[in-house]
Amino acid sequence: MAKPVVIEDVKTFLVQTAGPGTRFIIVKVITSEPGLYGLGCATFTQRFRAVYAAIEHHVKPFVIGKDVSRIEELFQMNLVNGYWRNGPVLNNAISGIDEALWDIKGKMANMPVYDLLGGKTREAAAVYAHADGRDPQEVLDNVRKFQEQGYHYIRVQMGGYGGKQDTMHRPEGALPGAYFDPRAYTRNMLRMIEYVRSHVGDEVELLHDVHERLSPIDTVKFAKDLEPYNLFFLEDSLAPEDIEWFRHIRKVCATPLAMGELFNNPREWRLLIEERLIDFIRMHVSQMGGITAARNAAIHAQIYGIRTAWHGPGDTSPVGHAANLHLDLWAPNFGIQEWCRFDNLVYDMFPGLPVVRNGYMYPNDRPGLGIDFDENLASKYPPKDEVDWWTQTRLPDGSPARP
């Protein structure tokens, strides 16, 4: 019997390519086979040092010496080895290993990961881009720019998450924070979406992200009011703590719903899938535990006619975007893929990063995930310890709010 290839070492890299929110965690699993390694994404940008410590001090010692071919077993054992489970820090640490093992298995088989999953069901993945603006006209202008680049699916926001208001009725002594007014937000977004739709017609697929910033009852009304504008989907309209309220949205309107970027535990998406309360699952693949966890969720969702729309912002690393793409190309129930449009520095740092042409993301057909990592270049961009501002959200009276 041939000697198994085992994990010989695990290296964890922290890199910040631009401003806050782009602190990547890249995991490199080195094997006993000379020159054979795999890359994984463990990016939890707001708590990157906690994930780094979890990998270095807990996950790494556990996986050293393990057989790289036993991905499923190692995923299951990693999940319970710390006893407490399904939290974002440990899930991301597990994901870094899991994605790297899929990368390794593909290289050993000389096959792309999508072939290991069962093969392609499409040649490329349709993506959506983000059009923001200070007012409806600027949003429309940016939508048209994306149309000129070939995008058919475009997310429309105005003033960022929660919108921005010039004036806000605050009490004296209100503490600093990222203030927003939920009621003004819904009024302004409805006007903006109506304006954009009236100018671009029905051929462009429009999306919008609430980012869980509304109370449940305001969310129900907002989703109902949006129905005439025929969104492709309304994203994260409720917080994970309020998912039972999706039943009420379903009763009053047919606005398509996407949910999941903050989910960690399968029980969070299980309810929504099995009761058909949403139309798209859009979990953050590293936060749910990696390719193995995402594959299982996609198969589960497919049984119930629910499509995938994996989280793909700027704080998903390029390795994570590559993992998303392989899942997209394989999944029979693929819906859409979020795309953040990295700059040239990131493409130099991550050779093989997927490219988008005319609104579609294409693979490069290399074995494994098809992406590499320039460690020397990355070492010039260490992460900075910063307190995130945008998550310090407050309502007009100063009360803390969900971001």
Reported as a single tens digit per residue, the pLDDT across 291-314 is: 999 999 999 999 999 999 999 999
Quick one: pLDDT band at residue 379, thresholds 50, 70, 90? very high
Identify the pLDDT of residue 165. Answer: 66
159: which residues sit within 8 A by CB, 6+ positions away? Answer: 132, 133, 134, 165, 188
Contact 242, 216 (CB under 8 A): yes
- Tell me, what's the pLDDT at 128? 98
- Categorize the per-residue pLDDT at 22 as very low, low, confident or very high, splitting at 50, 70 and 90: confident
Asked if residue 66 belongs to a domain, the reply is: no
Q: What pLDDT was estimated at residue 167? A: 66
Residue 20 in this model has a pLDDT that exceeds 60: no
| pLDDT, averaged across the chain | 95
pLDDT in the model for residue 19: 62
- The answer as to whether 198 is a domain residue is yes
Element (H, E) at 91: helix 88-109
What's at 76, amino acid-wise? Q
DSSP 331-364: -TTB--EE-----HHHHHHSTT--EEETTEEE--
391 occurs within a structural domain: no
List active site positions: 161, 211
Count Cβ atoms below 10 Å from residue 293 Cβ, excluding itself. 23
Is the separation of the CB atoms in 126 and 360 below 8 Å? yes
Cβ atoms of residues 185 and 209 within 8 Å:
no
* Strands of 46-185, DSSP E: 125-131, 153-156, 178-179
Q: Is residue 47 situated within a structural domain?
A: no
Residue range 93-148, pLDDT digits in tens: 999 999 999 999 999 999 999 999 999 999 999 999 999 999 999 999 999 999 99
Residue with tokens 């912002």: 313
DSSP string, 171-182: -TTPPPSEE--H
What mean pLDDT do residues 245-261 have?
Answer: 97
For residue 164, is pLDDT > 80?
Answer: no
Helix axes 291-303, 88-109, angle to 10 degrees: 90
d(CA 179, CA 175) in angstroms, rounded, equals 10
Q: pLDDT at position 157, please? A: 97
pTM above 0.85, yes or no: yes
Residue 16 — very low, low, confident or very high, per pLDDT cuts 50/70/90? Answer: very high
CA distance from start to end of the chain: 54
For tokens 């807990």, name the residue. 58
Residue 15 is predicted with a pLDDT of: 96
In a domain, 13, yes or no: no
Residue 56 counted as domain residue: no
CATH number at residue 299: 3.20.20.120
The answer to whether 347 touches 317, Cβ cutoff 8 Å, is no
Domain of 161 in residue numbering reads as: 116-366
Which structure tokens are listed for 352? 């093989």
**397 vs 259, which has greater pLDDT?**
259
159 within some domain: yes
386 assigned to some structural domain = no
Tell me how many domains the chain contains: 1
User: Helix, strand or coil for residue 401?
Assistant: coil
Check: CB of residue 341 under 8 Å from CB of residue 125. Answer: no
Q: pLDDT-based confidence at 388, cuts 50/70/90?
A: confident
Percent of the chain with pLDDT over 90: 88
Distance CA 260, CA 297 (A): 11
